[in-house]
Amino acid sequence: MDVKGCVAIVTGGNRGIGEAFVRVLIEQGAAKVYVGSRAKSAAAHLETEFPGKAVAVELDVSKPDQIIAAAAACPDVSVVVNNAGAFHNQLLIGADDISAARDEMEVNYFGPLQMARAFAPILKANGGGAILNVLSVGGIVAVPNMGGYSPSKFAMRAAGTCIRAELAEQGTTVTSLIVGSVDTRMASHVAGAKEKPEDIARAAMKGITRGTDEIDTDIFAVESRAALARDPKGMERGMAKMLHVKNPSTGR
């Protein structure tokens, strides 16, 4: 399918990679982009900048009733971008309880799954369309110091494969986006070079135009996949060592 003329919905579209998706979709000719955010007011700046093109929608993907309401309010959607994510920076065993891991699974796995379920009939009615799931290098490489985030992305990557098979007959493509280090608020704790969110969104457009199953959106993702292929056990050991690296500013 073509980005030009499509109607998209982007979860978590008011900032970060989600906002970049909104901008790039409109830049490449989308007729309309529904900007999902927990508060409609958070997307007001996009509605002002792109009148008639960007439309704010109240949408917290951890709340099934809001997903159902969004599907009812957006019957013309042909592209679903599951971008909303949660990362609480808590360990699986070291955390006081599992509430952080539970929320990461709720937002990063059950949220996109329920979005796919709610919008699948709409995509079918509108010619098939596309689903883009914004995942992470943490979805192909287990990162122990990221707690529940990495397992939730692994789960959604597997779910994407299953959903792709289920929706193939109706002509809906499902693309997993493996994203590396990006300059967003969620990645503010990460040191080193970071990609611009708009560049990630532009790379992801191949998922719409080509129906590609999985895309490494940046050099960090490409290099991580290559390192995993060369020496998976070495990669695992390297990730485990990150648990014990002390922060020079705190000594912890």
List the Cα angle 161/175/202 in 5-degree steps: 165
List, for residues 19-77, the tens digit of each pLDDT value: 999 999 999 999 999 999 999 999 999 999 999 999 999 999 999 999 999 999 999 99
- Domains defined for the chain, CATH in brackets: 7-244 (3.40.50.720)
Asked whether the beta carbons of 156 and 133 are under 8 A apart, the reply is yes
Q: Quickly count: other Cβ atoms within 10 Å of residue 231's Cβ.
A: 11
Measured between alpha carbons, how far is 225 from 164 in angstroms, rounded to an integer? 22
Mean predicted lDDT score pLDDT of the chain: 92
- Nearest in space to 70 (alpha carbons), one of 44, 40, 45, 42: 40
Please check the confidence at residue 106 and state whether its pLDDT lies above 60.
yes
* pLDDT, position 247: 47
List, for residues 208-238, the tens digit of each pLDDT value: 999 999 999 999 999 999 999 999 999 999 9
pTM of this prediction exceeds 0.75: yes
